[in-house]
Amino acid sequence: MSEIQLIIANKNYSSWSLRPWIALKVKGIEFEEVFSQFDETTGHKHFAEFSPTKKVPVLKDGELTVWESLAILEYLAEKFPDAGLWPAKQSDRAIARCIANEMHGGFMSLRAECPMNMRRKEEAINVSEGVHKDIWRIVDIWRDCLEKSDGPFLFGEFCNADAMFAPVVNRIAKYQLSDDPVVKRYSLAMTALPAWQEWEKAGKAEPWVVQEDEAQLEIFM
């Protein structure tokens, strides 16, 4: 059994859990997936047993607990320096960290109005101007990176920056937020990953529904 555990709550909605999970899978790093379901009625009280913030994902490595998706990805990059979790070139690493941090701390309108949802039918909803601005910025990031790297991923090979933007691929598709060729190119690369397909299949098979993550068609009319 691997010493590394990644604790997650679901795969249909949990965008933050997808990020370190897909990085571990794509890079072939052995880990144990530990499932602890959300419990909205108690505010996920049981998460306090393993998470200082009562949130997931949480990575356990022996006695060490690491929380926050981006911090987990940084830890994995240090623990497995040969895995290529950040680009090899220093200037590329700097930009990769910039956009990973921008994703971590930004795009609030997109997050609020268009939750990740693997089961959702692909159907547009009325969204705010804030969502449109978020998408324009994301497409600009993807275009700039792919033009410089020639793909298929943002810096050529899959890295932590791709892991951070993975949930956005789902959001753009499910809410039909962009038909830009750059989005199509990058989305095809991401969704072709066996790790993506494994997560998506499991997410679609989950039986429970979190109403707050089911965006309604009538919002922002």
Question: What distance in Å separates the CA atoms of residue 121 and residue 44, rounded to the nearest whole number?
Answer: 28
Question: What distance in Å separates the CA atoms of residue 158 and residue 24, rounded to the nearest whole number?
Answer: 11
Instruction: Tell me which residue of 191, 103, 187 sits closest to 146, measured CA to CA.
Output: 187
User: What superfamily would CATH give domain 4-83?
Assistant: Glutaredoxin (3.40.30.10)
| Whether the predicted pLDDT of 217 surpasses 50 | no
Tens of pLDDT, residue by residue over 13-23, are: 999 999 999 99
Task: Tell me the CATH class for 90-205.
Answer: mainly alpha
Tens of pLDDT, residue by residue over 98-108, are: 999 999 999 99
Where is average pLDDT lowest: 8-12, 89-93, 134-138? 8-12
Tens of pLDDT, residue by residue over 62-101, are: 999 999 999 999 999 999 999 999 999 999 999 999 999 9
0.85 exceeded by the pTM? yes
Residues 6+ apart with CB under 8 A from 125: 113, 114, 175, 215, 216, 217, 219, 220
Q: Where in the chain is CATH 3.40.30.10?
A: 4-83
| Whether the predicted pLDDT of 39 surpasses 70 | no
pLDDT at 53: 66
What phi, psi does 48 have (nearest 5°)?
-60, -20
Q: Where in the chain is CATH 1.20.1050.10?
A: 90-205
